[in-house]
Amino acid sequence: MSFSRTKTRTKSRIKSRIKTVLVINGPNMDRLGNREPGIYGTMTLDEINAEIKERADKLDIKVQFFQSNHEGDIVDKIGSAKTDGIIINPAAYTHTSIALSDALAAYDGEAVEVHLSNIFSREDFRSKSLTAPACRGAICGFGGKGYLLALEALGNLR
């Protein structure tokens, strides 16, 4: 199966820098800290979110957090987002969810995909992201610091 999508909307609609960001985490991310620490590290999602909030405050960006193990809830959250940007770790839905890809493509802001592990150095099925083509960019392999890199990237968009 071949799947390819590029965002066709222009980026000229960005009138000013990103001021609000929604951070979305998908299935099993609520189990961080205990779940396969050799792959995902020992930080909990709350600890990662605290670091994101601290960096967002320094960048003068308002940040919101959302985690769900349910695909439809994530689709709904993207569809109702009133933020300038989204940082999303779709977790396992990265490789399976056309619905999330469609929701991100319809989102009227900028999105960055983040993964704690390097998805390209793991099982073959993990090297294909259905959601990344609907995002401005993707960051993987830097643990929780990847979210901070994504926040910096969004904060520097003009």
For the cut 80, the answer to whether the pLDDT of residue 115 exceeds it is yes
What is the value of pTM for the model shown?
0.86
Find where tokens 């439809």 sit. Answer: 72
Query: What total number of domains does the chain contain?
Result: 1
pLDDT band at 83 (very low <50, low <70, confident <90, very high): very high
16-53 pLDDT, tens digit per residue, is 589 999 999 999 999 888 877 677 677 899 999 999 99
* Residue 118 pLDDT greater than 90, yes or no: no
Domain membership of residue 10 (yes or no) is no
Q: Is residue 114 part of a domain?
A: yes
CB count within 10 Å of CB 43 equals 18
Residue whose token pair is 């399976």? 96
Average pLDDT of the chain? Answer: 87
Instruction: Residue 91: give the domain boundaries.
Output: 18-155
* Residue 7 maps to a domain: no
- Known catalytic residues are 40, 115
Please give the average per-residue pLDDT across 131-138, as a whole number.
Answer: 95
Confidence class of residue 121 from pLDDT cuts 50, 70 and 90? low
Q: Please report whether residue 5 resides in a domain.
A: no
Is residue 63, in this structure, part of any structural domain at all? yes
Q: What is the mean pLDDT of residues 132-150?
A: 95
Does 1 fall in a domain? Answer: no
E strands, the chain, where?
20-25, 62-67, 85-89, 110-115, 137-140
Q: What is the CATH number of the domain that holds 130?
A: 3.40.50.9100
Q: What is the pLDDT of residue 3?
A: 45
> Residue 6 falls within a domain, yes or no?
no
Q: What is residue 158's predicted lDDT score, i.e. its pLDDT?
A: 65
How does DSSP classify residue 104?
H
Mean pLDDT across 125-154:
92
Q: With respect to residue 11, please indicate whether it lies within any of the assigned structural domains.
A: no
